[in-house]
Every structure is written in structure tokens, then in C-alpha cells.
């Protein structure tokens, strides 16, 4: 069981803005932490870029109050939009889904306690230095620590979590992942090439 990354973003805040799609402004990065030790040294830069690309893609398609999980290869990417403040977590398939959302909820609560509503005024990626996120990445590698949080987060019992089999299933009709990869400002040319080569050889060495 492993957590690869935790990301906090400013996402959609208007539940009446229509379906979650590529319309509207892109989510803004607020803070992130990752452990890329499972990747080779020369793959880590691309892996980090893909974490940001996937986080932004899923957060932009998660409406306020919505929780959803996207399964892609050996990863489950979980996202919760809490009134515009989004938490994204990258876990392996063995990490319990309920525990994953418990971690995200705790991270978002801590973020608001530390920064209040200042995030609402942020208009561009900032990746704030936030030691708690690094601590959470380490502490909650053990789902048992996250399970303790469930006792005080009963709302998870009443909230439906949407599970998608692939990232393609969260895209709007007509959208293609390959096109998003080519257009993404999060991915360098090297990472785009890495994605295409991995796809051709059917390797599971990237986040996607």
C-alpha cells in the first residue's frame, strides 16, 4: 500500500456552472507533495509532470461536493472538491478507497485551518511550501492511520464516491486523452514523448 502524491488545488466553486468538463478556467495548484522513489531517476521529472497533468484534469471535472476515483493501470487517483478547494491523492490499488478520502478530507481541513480562505484569491500556480503535506504523505502511508480518521468523519458513510475505470471516462464527450496530453502546459516535450513511447510498448511506468 502506497501513497505517491498529495495535491491541493483551487477548483470549481460554483455547483451550478454545469457539468464538470474542460470549460472554464483550469484548476490552480496550491500545494503538493510526492514520493517518486518507485520511479527511475530519469523518469521522476516526467512522473512529476504527469501527476500535475492528471491532478488538473480530474480536478477540473470534479464538481463542488463531489468525490470520485479514477483507476488507471496500477493507480487509483482520488479527488474531492470541498466547496472549490480540491484535494487529489495518488494511491496504489491496495489502498482502501474510504481511507484515501479520509486522508484527503483531513488534508483539506488542515489547509483551511492554516491558510483560511486566502486560496480563493490565488489566480496562478503557487505550490506553497506546507510542511504538513509532506508529513501527511509519510504518516498516512499506513492506511491504519487514516482509518482512525473515519471515526470522526461520518459524512463519508452518506456520500457516494464515483469510481471511474480509466481517466478517459471522466473526460467530456469528444475529448481524447492524447489531445489533452499534446495541449497540456504541465508536460514538457520530453514527457509527452515518454507518454507516447510508454503507450506504444504498453508499459506501466507512468502515472497514466
Report pTM.
0.74
H helices within 80-152, ranges in order? Answer: 97-115, 131-139, 143-150
Q: What cell numbers appear for 22 in the block? A: 474542460
Task: Identify the residue whose cell numbers are 486560496.
Answer: 119
CA–CA gap between residue 82 and residue 101 (Å, rounded): 12
CA–CA gap between residue 175 and residue 81 (Å, rounded): 22
Cα separation of the two ends of the chain:
18
pLDDT digits (tens, 9 = 90+) for 80-122: 999 999 999 999 988 988 889 999 999 999 999 999 999 999 9
The reported pLDDT for the residue numbered 30 is 97
The reported pLDDT for the residue numbered 136 is 95
**H or E, element range at 70:** strand 67-72
pLDDT digits (tens, 9 = 90+) for 37-52: 988 888 889 889 989 9
Tell me, letter by letter, the H, E, C secondary structure of 170-206.
HCCCCCCHHHHHHHCCCCCHHHHHHHHHHHHCCCCCC
Listed as ranges, residues in the chain with pLDDT below 50 are: 19-23, 154, 158, 203-208
Amino acid at each position: 500500500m502506497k501513497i505517491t502524491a498529495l495535491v491541493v488545488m483551487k477548483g470549481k466553486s460554483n455547483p451550478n456552472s454545469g457539468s464538470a468538463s474542460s470549460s472554464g478556467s483550469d484548476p490552480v495548484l496550491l500545494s503538493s507533495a510526492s514520493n517518486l522513489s518507485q520511479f527511475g531517476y530519469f523518469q521522476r521529472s516526467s512522473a512529476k509532470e504527469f501527476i500535475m497533468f492528471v491532478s488538473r484534469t480530474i480536478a477540473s471535472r470534479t464538481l463542488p461536493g463531489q468525490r470520485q476515483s479514477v483507476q488507471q493501470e496500477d493507480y487509483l487517483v482520488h479527488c474531492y472538491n470541498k466547496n472549490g478547494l480540491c484535494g487529489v491523492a495518488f494511491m496504489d490499488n491496495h489502498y482502501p478507497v474510504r481511507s484515501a478520502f479520509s486522508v484527503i478530507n483531513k488534508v483539506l481541513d488542515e489547509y483551511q485551518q492554516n491558510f483560511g480562505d486566502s486560496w480563493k484569491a490565488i489566480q496562478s500556480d503557487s505550490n506553497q511550501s506546507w510542511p504538513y503535506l509532506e508529513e501527511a504523505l509519510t504518516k498516512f502511508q499506513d492506511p491504519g492511520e487514516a482509518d482512525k480518521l473515519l471515526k470522526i468523519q461520518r459524512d463519508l458513510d452518506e456520500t457516494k464516491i464515483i469510481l471511474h475505470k480509466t481517466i478517459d471516462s471522466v473526460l467530456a464527450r469528444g475529448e481524447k486523452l492524447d489531445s489533452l496530453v499534446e495541449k497540456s502546459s504541465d508536460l514538457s516535450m520530453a514527457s509527452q514523448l515518454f507518454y507516447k513511447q510508454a503507450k506504444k510498448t504498453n508499459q506501466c511506468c507512468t502515472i497514466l
